[in-house]
Amino acid sequence: MSQLAYEYYVDIVTKRYFDAVDKQDLQRVLDCFHADATLKEMTSNTEHRGREIGIKKMFESLFDAHSRIWHGNFVHTVDIEGQAICSQFSVEVTPHASGQELRYENCNRFYLLDGKFDRVYVYMSGDNLLK
Amino acid sequence: MQYQTNLNRQQLVELVLTRYFANIDRKDLDGTLACFHDCALVTVQTSFALHEGTASVRRMFADLFARHSRIAHKNVNCTVDAKNGRIAASYIEELVANDGVRSVFENTAFWRLRADRFQELYVYVSGAQSH
């Protein structure tokens, strides 16, 4: 595959991935990942392996637990040569259990292969949501 | 805020590797601070610690250096966005406290460049906080 454009990396992270997460559209979320992708939450050392197993289960739990999820205030560091994008952003979530909005200042490192996420690393400013 | 810098990919990587991390590992306080503007902002996002300006940034590093007999940064993997004066890196941080206790973190940092120095630095720490 030829080198992807700068805006491809920003678009897959914001317009495809986080937009789908915020809309709780599981299939659109999973479409961003390779089948054997991994997602690791670094602040709690929690790793989710495989798009249709670990990652799918993690997002099902996230969506089941929250009535509202919002990601915004993005700042991206895009490396076309390295096929990577590192993004800083704010997260607001409202758990069903409490109804109280929680806010986080997080970052993700996305490493892509052929235009899809191969490895994703997540750092969270508070308790781990991605269990 | 979008800052202006003329540093290219190689210069951004050299600033992070051979000046910033190398000076920290040598506990060279002045060399470390020379990487920052006087009005730089350092945020340890995972613990919401904010250091604004040379005096505060100096205190942060002086405290880190005073509390540890050994500081080492390894496996630095840079994501470089030279077009926008940004660089991020994942790295292993090994700290040996003065009482001999060794801690290892898998961190991510984001630097935003203004001219030839850091204007903003955001650090996301894995696991337990150390500075």
The answer on pLDDT for A98 being more than 70 is yes
* pTM listed for this prediction: 0.94
pLDDT tens across B99-113, in order?
A: 999 999 999 999 999
Of B80, B106, B122, nearest to A79 by CB-CB distance is B80
b or e along A94-128 (b: 16 or more beta carbons within 10 Å of the residue's beta carbon)?
beeeeeeeeebbbbbbbbbeeeebbbbbbbbbeee
Helices (H), A4-109: 6-11, 19-22, 26-30, 56-65
Residues contacting residue B27 through CB under 8 Å, at least 6 positions apart: B65, B71
Report the pLDDT averaged over residues B22-44. Answer: 97
- Which residues in chain A touch residue B47, judged by CB atoms under 8 angstroms apart? 125
Q: ipTM of this predicted complex?
A: 0.93
- Rounded-to-integer distance, Cα B58 and Cα A118, Å: 38
Model confidence at B130, in pLDDT bands (50, 70, 90)?
very low
Instruction: Using CB atoms, pick whichever of A42, A75, A86 lies closest to residue B126.
Output: A42
Mean pLDDT for all residues in chain A: 94
Across A11-28, average pLDDT? 98
Q: Residue A128 — very low, low, confident or very high, per pLDDT cuts 50/70/90?
A: low
pLDDT band at B42 (very low <50, low <70, confident <90, very high): very high
Q: Burial of A28 by CB count in 10 Å (0-12 exposed, 13-18 middle, 19+ buried)?
A: middle
pLDDT (average), residues A48-66: 97
B131: pLDDT confidence band, cut at 50, 70 and 90?
very low
- Mean pLDDT of chain B, nearest integer: 94
Shortest distance between the Cα of B74 and any Cα of chain A, in A, equals 17
Cβ <8 Å between B80 and A109? no
Q: Which residue has the tokens 């899809």?
A: A116
